[in-house]
Structure 1
Amino acid sequence: MARISALVEDVRRVLRARHYSVRTEGVYLGWIKRFILANRLRHPADMGQREVEAFLTRLAVEGQVASSTQNQALSALLFLYRDVLRARMDWMEDVVRAKRARKLPVVLAGEEVRLLLAQLDGRAWLLASVLYGTGMRLMECLRLRVKDVDFARGEITVRDGKGGKDRRTVLPRSLVEPLQLEVERARILHASDLAAGFGAVWLPHALARKYINGPREFAWQYVFPARNRSLDPRDDTERRHHVDAEFVSRALKQARNRAAIDKPVTAHTLRHSFATHLLEAGYDIRTIQELLGHKDVATTQIYTHVLNRGPNAVRSPLDR
């Protein structure tokens, strides 16, 4: 057990040295622990191709997990063997990843978005409105810093998005005043934290060393701070994090039920709806690609398939 505990700490150390997010750290450690438990606490260094392939097969056959889940487990094990154990195992690169099914995104109609937002209020309404109005991913929205909201230019800068890329997206005019009020609430909360001897927010990578006073500056604070301070799992420091993602998920689920919308609704559904509604409004697909932060325009083109199934695209011969 001591050997396995040491391995888990090694995995955590390498993940943090390479600036993986806390969420990814938790997911990777979870899969590695499941792999070890599935093999009766054997150390991964004493296992190989047979055990890895058997584990992935059990996930698919017995667990009936989605292809994305199986690939996530494979990525965790690849990281373990390649980056932590430094094992020279060419077979790891040959392990076949599960083929992901091509699925069309769930998109809400404009009226459905209106009904959904009408069932929300306060911070839940603002977060959902920002997600739909900007096309940001959920964690991009929650990790938004005060300095990255430009009210004068009407734009939001998304820092370190998917793939480690920065981009700019639109700031809806209708959200300027509500967001300004939210920033002022964050300012008051930050002032109270400073007065209590806290107020230092977490900064990514080496920015905390580069900007010594940065963590306590208001510009670096989250636009949507959590109501209470908590211990940071990275270093056990008490600080104020951003609002929890589960808060948004619960609020959307409850609003969907109250609005009697039969489609599944998540934060990503609002992002899909943002892109589709821009296409319907006639905006160029390259512009939408930039706003969404897609690396390849082929990813953005999936929304054209959604349009082709809509009432204003292909006309059924029955209706002629």
Structure 2
Amino acid sequence: MPAGRFKQWLHSKRYSESTITTYSEALKSFLVFYREKPVAEITNEDVIVYNNEYILKNNLSASYQNQIVNAIKLYFATIRETKIEIDKIHRPKRSKLLPNVLSKEEIKLILNTHSNIKHKTMLSLIYSCGLRCGELLALQPVHIDSKRNIVLIKNAKGKKDRIAPLSPKILEMLREYYTSFRPTTYLFEGQIKGQPYDARSLQLILKQALQKTGITKPVTLHWLRHSFATHLLESGTDLRYIQELLGHNSSKTTEIYTHVSTKSIQQIKSPFNDL
């Protein structure tokens, strides 16, 4: 199957545009590396050689290597004649990085720096509902259900809809914002009516807030989502509910927050105290 047909196949499986681009480019890099070899002759050993001779030699990341593996597995799953054993394609060992979390005090400082109601509402909504940046920008006014106090997050990552609770404070903020800006298609629109707000502009809003507060940590919008999950865990919310709120497929993804929650760690008495 040529790379173009692979792209069509991914489209038919309804993968997102960004995933299709990533996988297509990753696969192209692999197939170009073995351009002298018929696809049907490529083996698992060739994948190992590619990892060593291309990925490692060019200092490419483990996450990029993982994407290559995903692309190769999907591609060879669509080919009848192959020597590749899909289940035996080895992955790089994943680095176990903990999510970056801010304290409630730091979150409060960040959210209160902006006097602009639109900027303040956007950042507050990400934290208060644990949204991904793209999920916030895809919100429409109809997704805010003020009667049931919920936000409907449509077509989130993995094509899953989910709901998040809407705090009364956020609802108040949204009403004030709505009165001033009167959005039409999207809840948060850019310069052009009916067009969603730009992701880079939203990152800039966060950057400005950090400069005003003097917080020097390399905070990203995703840190607000991580902080939401960790603060929920620290206040005693069941991990299964947090999994639902974040839209995680696997509970293993959500469990990582137990490693950054300081609630139980703070109760441990250091032996240094007894010296």
TM-score by length of 1: 0.72
Note if 1:294 corresponds to 2:248.
yes
- The one of 74, 78, 83 equivalent to 2:73 is 78
1:99 equivalent in structure 2 = 93
> Is the contact between residue 156 and residue 170 of structure 1 (CA under 8 Å) also seen in structure 2?
yes
How far off is 1:226 after superposition?
A: 4.0
- Alignment deviations for residues 216-258 of structure 1 (CA, whole Å, 9 cap, x no partner): xxxxx432334348xxxxxxxxxx5533333333332343344
Segments of 4+ in structure 1 off by > 6 A? none
Shift of residue 122, structure 1, vs aligned partner: 4.6
Structure 2 runs not aligned, ≥5 long: none
Q: Quick check: 1:249 aligned with 2:243?
A: no
Q: Quick one: distance in 2 between partners of 1:267 and 1:47?
A: 45
For the pair 1:111 / 2:105, whether they are aligned, the reply is yes
Cα separation, 1, equivalents of 2:190 and 2:6? 29
Counterparts of 2:29 and 2:175 in 1: how far apart (Å)?
A: 45
Compared with structure 1, are the counterparts of its residues 174 and 318 closer, same or farther at alpha carbon in structure 2 (3 Å cutoff)?
A: same
Q: Which residue of 2 aligns with 1:30?
A: 25
Residue type at the aligned position of 1:317: P
**Offset at 1:259?**
2.6
Q: Is the 8 A contact 1:117 1:125 kept in 2?
A: yes
Shift in Å, 1:108: 0.1
Aligned residues, how many?
272
Alignment CA distance shift 1:309-1:278 (3 Å):
closer
1:147-168 Cα shifts (integer Å, max 9, x gaps): 3221111111223333333322
Q: Are 1:129 and 2:124 an aligned pair?
A: yes
Q: Assess if the C-alpha contact under 8 Å between 1:275 and 1:303 holds in 2.
A: yes
Work out the CA distance in 2 between the residues paired with 1:126 and 1:67: 36
Shift of 1:99: 1.7
Shift of 1:111: 1.2
Letter paired with 2:245: L
> Is the 1:167–1:291 Cα contact (8 Å) retained in structure 2?
yes
Q: 1:281 matched to which residue of 2?
A: 235
Give the SS at the match of 1:168. strand
Give per-residue Cα distances to partners, 1:251-289, cap 9 Å, x unaligned. 323433443323331222111110111222232333222
Structure 1: stretches of 5+ with no match in the other structure:
1-5, 191-220, 230-239
Identity value in percent:
32
Inter-CA distance 286–36: structure 2 relative to 1 (3 Å threshold): closer
The residue type paired with residue 6 of structure 2 is: V
Tell me how far apart the structure 1 counterparts of residues 101 and 211 of structure 2 sit (CA, whole Å).
16
Query: How far does residue 135 in structure 1 lie from its aligned partner after superposition?
Result: 0.8
Name the residue aligned to 1:237. Answer: none
Q: Which residue matches 1:56?
A: 51
Distance 2:272 2:225 in 1: 33
2:169 is the counterpart of 1:224: no
Letter in 1 for 2:186: Y
Are the equivalent residues in 1 in contact too, given 2:141–2:187 (CA < 8 A)? Answer: yes
Aligned to 1:306: 260
Residue identity matched to 1:103: L
Measured in 2, the distance between the counterparts of 1:116 and 1:296 equals: 31
How large is the RMSD of aligned CA atoms in angstroms?
A: 3.1
In structure 2, the CA distance between the partners of 1:136 and 1:183, relative to structure 1 (3 Å rule), is same
Amino acid paired to 1:100: R
Deviation digits for residues 126-153 of structure 1 (CA, Å, limit 9, x no counterpart): 2221111101222222222333221111
8 Å Cα contact 2:30/2:50 also seen in 1: yes
Three-state SS of the structure 2 residue aligned to 1:19 is coil
**Distance across 1 between alignment mates of 2:263 and 2:217:** 16
TM score, norm. by length of structure 2: 0.82
1:45 aligns with 2:39: yes
- CA 1:177–1:299: 2 relative to 1, 3 Å: same
Closer/same/farther in 2, CA of residues 272 and 19 from structure 1, 3 Å limit: same
Q: 2:40–2:83: 8 Å Cα contact kept in structure 1?
A: no
Task: Report the equivalent of 1:17.
Answer: 12
Change (3 A) 1:53 1:158: same
